Amino acid sequence: MHLGVALFTTSLIACGGGSGGSSNNSTSSSSSSVPGSASSSQGTSVSSSSSSASLEPASSSSSSSSSEPVSSSSSVSSSLPSAASPLPLLENFNDVVDADGFFSEGYKSLSASNQAFYFRVSGTPLFSDGRMRLPAARFTLGNTQPETTSAAGDTQTQGELDLSQAYRISFCVLDWEVTGSNKNLQLYVDNNTSAAANSIHGSSSRIHQVAVDTLTRGERVVVESSLGSATSYLQLRTESGAVVVLDDLWIGYQADTSTEPSAQSCAGYLVSSSSSSSSSSSGSNSSSAPMLSQTNNPVYTELNNYKSWLSSSGDAAAKLAADKTRADNMISWQLPHGGFYKFDVSKYNNPWNGSESRSDWRGANNVELGTIDNDATVSELLFLADVYRRSGDSKYRDAARRAMDFILTMQYASGGWPQVYPARTGTTYSNHVTFNDDAMARVLILLDQSQKAVAPLDGDLFSGEQLSQIEAAINKGVDFIVNAQIEQNGVKTVWCAQHDPVTYVPRGARSYELPSKSGKESVLVVAFLMTRPQTPEVEASVKAALAWYRSDSVKVANTAYIKRSSGSTDDSYNPIQPQSGSTMWYRFYDVDADTGFFSGRLSTDNPPGTGKQYDIMEIEPERRYGYEWGGDYGTKILNYAQSVGY
């Protein structure tokens, strides 16, 4: 057996060789087999044998593009029907620009028609550096009727791959990520649904299934089967909680593997990827970086605000009708650049009248500004996506795309997001990179969920070009976060609520929001970093911030921040209260010391205030009770960190 090839039926051959233990991740009816055999109750096995052939086939057809089928000189391919796509096929993704291009007839077409050979069924694969990222997505290969849903009652197959002979599928796994409980990578024959039984082959159509977190990065997965016909097709799928990065997908016959890439080539890609990523902390080429379990990561509750905007009255049709009306009104309020102002949802009970201001903020030349403050634009995009997903009406998709374009356009070259776009005149703090009220972190979570095609951000909601831009935007955003992390006596700590987009230094906002280390806003920043590949730079940033939250000089034991009761006029009330077993963090700490502080308005403000103080009772009551100065901010992130060994 060659090293670096996975065996999933009853054992695993990991990178480095040796025999693995029993695996429960294979298709349940598969049986153990020797290399080259195809004996199982489904006619399917997973083999560990591999040739040591080079990436390009040695046959006379090797000069053709490697994204096209490579003709085999062996007799197994000579009997192919004239309408069939010849095997072996090698897809290395080197010439793929984006998903739209990959799923076009111009990239690769069926042999008997000008239809696209690859068909996107759901979700959207991403492409970069000659590899495919498959985030909760599925696509078919060689299906001549891709719009027709396969079913158990089918009487004939409808593909153009000749799978009537024992065949073999293999590919490199360069990275994986688990984002939910449904975390399998699956292969189907003559089935373009997510249910194994929906095929002429019944439940046997799923020829391979494996939990992605059992895969080894840099390993070549090999699946062997004899299930199929002379007119079959394949489907590759990742479930809703699984992401896999693949390269060098090869399909051929077990009788001739001379053109199959070697197992060792996969590990070589990891070395190349690692060496090319030294200039970025984001992990844009971090295939070998580990991923953390996402169970209980606080980021996954941050995009739910829009759900309260959805109708809850009547049956599904009535709810959709009400939501479409609100979405239509919402689109009329959308600004020309694609953004929205931070209106209450009640604003969308009526359409824009054509003359009322659509934003309370203005920029140069009196242009109306969009914002990401208070969930704005993010919630509208999600609402529109939800309505599009249920209605299929492209006007909602197009409006969501314009909102995404706004978000991508407003990002600074350094990677941060301001509160508004275009630039706000007269008030400079809105133009700083804004972590305040979780604005930038929430945008990054939106982009991350868009990249992973998490509903309602799935299907064809975004164009292939946008998805490529989203990946780049995330990487730049992570770089900004790492670069902006505040150092105190040479030790990294956390972040300010605002940072300079060029110099990264902490910046203030309103007169009572001073440059500081933020105990509140830094939580979601850390949580987002923990969704990313844990490159050395990202891991160091995360662990430094967690150490700061755990520090006895930062947290306040047996203390809770309890707001004054609504309607109370007791100005002697102190919201910082002793409470056994509770832990409090201040919202603001000095930039150069772990000392919590508070701030009233300036003496020159209207109304005037007392400025910066270290005793909350020394600031004016209007600010003391009209702003949040503390909370149990670190509790959730520390509990999550402990669960993943950080």
In SS3 terms, 461-529 reads as CCCHHHHHHHHHHHHHHHHHHHHHCCEECCEECCCCCEECCCCCCEECCCCCCCCCEECCCHHHHHHHH
Same domain, 350 and 227: no
Q: In which domain, by residue range, is 346 found?
A: 298-643
Give the per-residue pLDDT at 267.
67
Query: Looking at the domain assignment, is residue 70 inside a domain?
Result: no
- Residue 347: pLDDT above 80? yes
| Distance from C-alpha of 507 to C-alpha of 430, rounded to nearest angstrom | 11
Give the per-residue pLDDT at 289.
84
> Do residues 556 and 585 make contact, with C-beta atoms less than 8 angstroms apart?
yes
Query: Looking at the domain assignment, is residue 286 inside a domain?
Result: no
- Residue 643: pLDDT above 60? yes
Same domain, 255 and 366: no
Tell which residue, 174, 175, 185, has the closest CA to residue 266: 174
Count of beta carbons in the 10 Å neighbourhood of residue 261: 27
Give the per-residue pLDDT at 367.
96
18: its two tokens: 């040796």
- Residue 618: pLDDT above 90? yes
Same domain, 366 and 435: yes
- Residue 496: CATH number of its domain: 1.50.10.20
Can you name the residues that pair with 126 across neighbouring β-strands? 133
- Residue 550: pLDDT above 90? yes
Q: What is the chain's mean pLDDT, rounded?
A: 86
Residues with Cβ within 8 Å of residue 105, at least 6 apart in sequence = 114, 115, 116, 117
Q: What is the mean pLDDT of residues 407-421?
A: 97
Same domain, 264 and 397: no
Q: Which of 241, 260, 275 is the last residue of a domain?
A: 275
Give the per-residue pLDDT at 406.
98
341: its two tokens: 């102002």
Q: Which of 275, 290, 315 is the last residue of a domain?
A: 275
Per-residue confidence at 209, pLDDT binned at 50, 70, 90? very high
535: left (phi over 0), alpha (psi -120 to 50) or beta: beta
Give the per-residue pLDDT at 313.
95
Q: What is the mean pLDDT of residues 492-517?
A: 98
- Residue 285: pLDDT above 60? no
HEC profile for 245-311?
Answer: EEEEEEEEECCECCCCCCCHHHHHHHHHHHHCCCCCCCCCCCCCCCCCCCCCCHHHHCCCHHHHHCC
CA distances for 193 relative to 207, 284, 467, 485, angstroms: 14, 31, 24, 45
Give the per-residue pLDDT at 344.
96
Same domain, 400 and 503: yes
- Residue 11: pLDDT above 70? no
Give the per-residue pLDDT at 158.
95
| Distance from C-alpha of 439 to C-alpha of 371, rounded to nearest angstrom | 9
Range from 86-90, 230-234, 251-255, 271-275 carrying the lowest mean pLDDT: 271-275
End-to-end Cα separation, the chain, in angstroms: 37
Considering its fold, how many domains does the chain have in total?
A: 2
Give the per-residue pLDDT at 73.
31
| Residue keyed to tokens 């910066």 | 612
Q: What is the mean pLDDT of residues 384-408?
A: 97
DSSP element (H, E) containing 626 = none
Q: Is 30 helix (H, G, I), strand (E, B) or coil?
A: coil
- Residue 84: pLDDT above 50? yes
Same domain, 588 and 443: yes
| Distance from C-alpha of 215 to C-alpha of 493, rounded to nearest angstrom | 35
Exposure of 427 in the CB half-sphere (CA atoms within 13 A)? 16
Give the per-residue pLDDT at 50.
33
Query: Looking at the domain assignment, is residue 107 inside a domain?
Result: yes
pLDDT tens for residues 564-585?
Answer: 999 999 999 999 999 999 999 9
Per-residue confidence at 129, pLDDT binned at 50, 70, 90? confident
pLDDT tens for residues 23-77?
Answer: 333 333 333 332 233 333 334 444 333 332 222 322 333 333 333 333 333 333 3
pLDDT tens for residues 230-254?
Answer: 999 999 999 988 999 999 999 999 9
Range from 39-53, 300-314, 375-389 carrying the lowest mean pLDDT: 39-53
Same domain, 24 and 162: yes
Query: Looking at the domain assignment, is residue 280 inside a domain?
Result: no
The answer to whether the predicted template modeling score (pTM) of the entire model surpasses 0.75 is no
Q: What is the mean pLDDT of residues 385-410?
A: 97
Q: What is the mean pLDDT of residues 324-352?
A: 98
Count of beta carbons in the 10 Å neighbourhood of residue 331: 20
Q: What is the mean pLDDT of residues 516-533?
A: 98
| Distance from C-alpha of 278 to C-alpha of 260, rounded to nearest angstrom | 31
Exposure of 111 in the CB half-sphere (CA atoms within 13 A)? 17
Q: What is the mean pLDDT of residues 129-150?
A: 94
| Distance from C-alpha of 572 to C-alpha of 588, rounded to nearest angstrom | 22
Q: Which of 227, 242, 275 is the last residue of a domain?
A: 275
Give the per-residue pLDDT at 23.
33
Give the per-residue pLDDT at 15.
31
> Do residues 32 and 13 make contact, with C-beta atoms less than 8 angstroms apart?
no
151: its two tokens: 């079913």
Same domain, 363 and 270: no
Same domain, 424 and 545: yes
Work out the angle at residue 70's Cα, subtended by the Cα atoms of residues 66 and 76, and round it to the nearest 5 degrees.
Answer: 155
Query: Looking at the domain assignment, is residue 282 inside a domain?
Result: no
Residues with Cβ within 8 Å of residue 59, at least 6 apart in sequence = 70, 71, 72, 73, 258, 259
Q: What is the mean pLDDT of residues 97-114?
A: 91
pLDDT tens for residues 428-479?
Answer: 899 999 999 999 999 999 999 998 888 899 889 999 899 999 999 999 999 9
> Do residues 232 and 163 make contact, with C-beta atoms less than 8 angstroms apart?
yes
Same domain, 309 and 245: no
Count of beta carbons in the 10 Å neighbourhood of residue 332: 15
Same domain, 313 and 264: no
Q: Where are the alpha helices (DSSP H) in 16-135?
A: 99-102
Tell which residue, 497, 112, 475, has the closest CA to residue 289: 475
Give the per-residue pLDDT at 18.
31
Query: Looking at the domain assignment, is residue 350 inside a domain?
Result: yes
Give the per-residue pLDDT at 217.
87
Query: Looking at the domain assignment, is residue 289 inside a domain?
Result: no
Same domain, 268 and 324: no
Query: Looking at the domain assignment, is residue 293 inside a domain?
Result: no
